[in-house]
A and B are shown apart, each in its own frame.
Chain A
């Protein structure tokens, strides 16, 4: 969560609760959101490492709030984050290990494993469809996130199909 918070602060100073709301609005309901506690803890750590600095602001009739701004080091960290490409999301796959090891154990059947996994993916796909239907139509970023997740799932399902084709031929 560190870098997304830093990136939000690159727009200008903000307090913790504002950052939480901005994040929710930007990413939509499909993205697992951090709770406010996690955000405050992360902000505290970022301040300690000198990437942001906080300033207490007095409020009448309410506790003080702390406004954070990005330091030069923080700005550099955000730039470096944007510069670096990310690893592919699926390199390791626990299901693949189960599929590979099942025949040797005698404890599971490969086709049963595939069917069970397909159900899981289809249910997730259905869940995503519902999220997409409930999401604000104008929130392009949130819809792109959901569409990305769906395309990954489609690829996973296609791959399960390939597994099934290959393994049924062997039987």
Chain B
């Protein structure tokens, strides 16, 4: 099971996940193979209810697959306990969610420093990391604010700082702009692109094609399965009758 061709950071084989609730069982993930190499920015798009969030949760160990296996940096996670996965999410995997999931009764500074402290950093190191990240994300002066006092866009930036404070090799993002306005969406897009340019590996689930186009690979997810896996270049301007007809020059 070793792959020597590329520095593979994440690998999934034969993932299956079915949700059993009231009514008919929902086949959220129906046999997914996926490989993400270090430094890649992958977007997973598809209609709501296609199972793409479930897939992301499987990749982050937030849910366990019914079938199939996941390898992180070459290590098989089949035998991982909940505690081992939690440890992985402190240092190996950062996650941002649609609704930010900040701890509402902790200040911005504490929200960002907490995972660093849990990972064993000294308070001094944690503070230094937090200061650098908040400055980078344009949140200076907000350290003492409570999450509820911030706009949605600001809260998502705090969540991004929290996810990245331990420099995890992998960042997972689940609809990171799903509850933001278009300005907030552009901001998230700009920041993810910036971290990606510095080498951050990112796997993002989104239904927003604008956000997806920031990635260099877009996977189309449909009805629990990957139906297309496309590498985008976007370097050559599309030719022909104008961009989607709207940019066409008429005489």
Question: Which residues of A are at the interface with B, using a C-beta cutoff of 8 A?
Answer: 1-2, 30-32, 34, 42, 89-90, 111, 115, 118-130, 133, 145, 147-150, 152-154, 156-157, 161, 164-165, 168
Contact = CB atoms under 8 A, between A and B. Distances in A.
28 contacts: A30-B247, A31-B247, A31-B249, A32-B242, A89-B244, A89-B248, A90-B244, A90-B245, A115-B220, A115-B228, A122-B209, A122-B218, A122-B232, A124-B234, A125-B209, A126-B233, A126-B234, A127-B235, A128-B213, A129-B234, A130-B234, A147-B182, A149-B244, A157-B209, A161-B47, A164-B222, A164-B227, A168-B222
Contacts of B242: 32
B227 A156 contact: no
A148 B213 contact: no
Nearest to B215: A126
* Majority SS at the chain B contact face: loop
Given A123-B233, A149-B246, A118 B220 contact: yes
A97 B242 CA distance: 19
Contact of A119 (B190, B230, B249): B230
A124 B47 contact: no
A158 B47 CA distance: 8
A112 B232 CA distance: 17
B204 interface: no
A27 to B, nearest CB: 10
Nearest to A45: B251
A161 B210 contact: no
A9 B244 CA distance: 29
A10 B74 CA distance: 67
Contacts of B212: 122, 125
B147 interface: no
Residue of B214, B235, B243 ringed by the most chain A CB atoms within 10 A: B243
Contacts, number: 101
Given A115-B220, A148-B246, A168-B223, A129 B213 contact: yes
A1 B223 CA distance: 46
A156 B244 contact: yes
Contacts of A1: 249-251
Contact of B246 (A118, A123, A152): A152
Interface in B60-80: none
A121 B209 contact: yes
Contact of B238 (A34, A115, A127, A148): A127
A165 B230 CA distance: 19
A31 B214 CA distance: 21
A111 B227 CA distance: 9
A110 to B, nearest CB: 12
Given A154-B209, A161-B46, A123 B247 contact: no
A123 B234 contact: yes
Contacts of A120: 238
Contacts of A32: 242, 247-249
Interface in B165-216: 182, 189-190, 208-210, 212-214
B213 A122 contact: yes
Contacts of B120: none
Given A154-B208, A154-B209, A118 B238 contact: no
A89 B245 contact: yes
A152 B244 contact: yes
